Amino acid sequence: MKRVVVTGLGAITPLGNSVDEFWENIVNGKSGAATITKMDVSKFKTQFGCEVRNFNPEEYIEKKELKKYDLHTQYAIAASDQAIKDAGLDFQSIDETDRYDMGVIWATGNGGMGTFEDQLLEFHASDGTPRFSPFFIPKMIVDIAAGVISIRHKLFGPNYCTVSACASSNTALISAFDTIRMGKAKLMVAGGSEAAIIYSAIGGFGAAQALSKRNSEPETASRPFDQERDGFVIGEGAAALILEDLEYAKARGAKIYAEIVGGGMAADAYHLTGTPPDGFGASLGMKKALAEAGIGPEKIDYVNAHATSTGLGDMSELNGIKNVFGAHQVAISATKSMTGHLLGAAGAIESIVCVLAVQNDVIPATINTKKLDEKTPEGLNIILGKSVKQPVNYALNNTFGFGGHTATSIFKKYEA
């Protein structure tokens, strides 16, 4: 099997529209939550989220082209362009036959849900005459961002979309990792994007009692593991990672952020939206990732928990972590306390957190959590309040999705 490394990063997030700005705010414990500004939600029970702010798509896309792309695809283009530039890649100068072995695996949980909503509302408000945009279907379908990135950079290798709800982009990264290590590609653009701060998503998640209702204090509403947590804070954005065959990366003189060494996927096989109290599916995914990496749990220095700030989900994951790590005092934190929940893009943005934690030997904290849930398993090292500076040789990233999907990836400090 080939070794796979991370050589480029890109991010459009509620904490900044570049990786550097995002990481600085993560390390400093800044919240990205605020009252929603892009639409009138005054009649909704939840009126806040983690919006992307000051995003100018014309920095990446010609104005005349914008009408072709849903916002989630615009975010995907921006994040992938950043990552490609960060990796020092100029695909136009790379021989076409080499690009036969370069591809894109891009994730989203909802795709062009905003486009779908807009078009149907517009039709409903009309006299019934169909005036749908010719771009409606390609803007809406979930695979389109992967296709657009491929077309944009003339990448002829594997190209598809992974959809596993909130585990989608971690699944994409694991799939890209597998594709390269099995020799089916030498470079992959992988990540995910979401633009679900829209009426139907706020209404739907709200009806499911999944969203926090702390409208008077949105910046502290996402409080994973906290005794008084009352639901997740919806977020939006995109994150991209360039994964490469190590030998190809070295041959072209690429900088290397970290090595990806394991990916475990499993299922709760339990409930439509809930997770088993014992965290079985989560622990199974983590065990598979550790086995693939060829390491024991004692090697992991940091776990970026999925921890959305929901009542049952947080404790289920902590029980799964306790089951896997036992007495090992692995550092655990939940950066959704700052970013909110980016749904299908969560795994990719949290993978960037893991990569930068490994590179910089910094463990970001969980903010807003004041009193741990009384059901929290004993002996866990949950980092609260402020980031911690300590060696991070291995970082593990958990993501879980409605339907019982679990995906765990492991990143390692690169050694030649």
The per-residue pLDDT for range 159-171, each reduced to its tens digit, is 999 999 999 999 9
Residue of 64, 49, 67, 66 lying closest to 13 (CA atoms): 49
- List where CATH 3.40.47.10 sits in the chain: 4-251, 264-412
The predicted model gives 387-416 an average pLDDT of 97
Give residue 306's pLDDT band: very low, low, confident or very high (50, 70, 90): very high
Q: Catalytic residue numbers?
A: 166, 306, 341
The pLDDT value given to residue 266: 98
CATH 3.40.50.720: does it fit domain 264-412?
no
- Measured CA to CA, the distance from residue 252 to residue 139 in angstroms comes to 35
- Measured CA to CA, the distance from residue 318 to residue 306 in angstroms comes to 10
pTM for the whole structure:
0.97
More confident residue, 408 or 273: 408
- Measured CA to CA, the distance from residue 178 to residue 181 in angstroms comes to 5
Q: Is the predicted pLDDT of residue 289 greater than 90, yes or no?
A: yes
Q: Is the predicted pLDDT of residue 172 greater than 90, yes or no?
A: yes
Say which CATH architecture domain 4-251 belongs to: 3-Layer(aba) Sandwich (3.40)
- Measured CA to CA, the distance from residue 401 to residue 326 in angstroms comes to 24
Contact 140, 226 (CB under 8 A): no
Helices (H), 94-135: 113-125
Give backbone dihedrals phi and psi of 103, rounded to 5 degrees, phi first.
-145, -170
Q: Is the predicted pLDDT of residue 416 greater than 90, yes or no?
A: no
Q: Is the predicted pLDDT of residue 282 greater than 90, yes or no?
A: yes
Q: Is the predicted pLDDT of residue 104 greater than 90, yes or no?
A: yes
Q: Is the predicted pLDDT of residue 393 greater than 90, yes or no?
A: yes
The predicted model gives 185-202 an average pLDDT of 98
Q: Is the predicted pLDDT of residue 229 greater than 90, yes or no?
A: yes
The per-residue pLDDT for range 110-161, each reduced to its tens digit, is 999 999 999 999 999 998 899 999 999 999 999 999 999 999 999 999 999 9
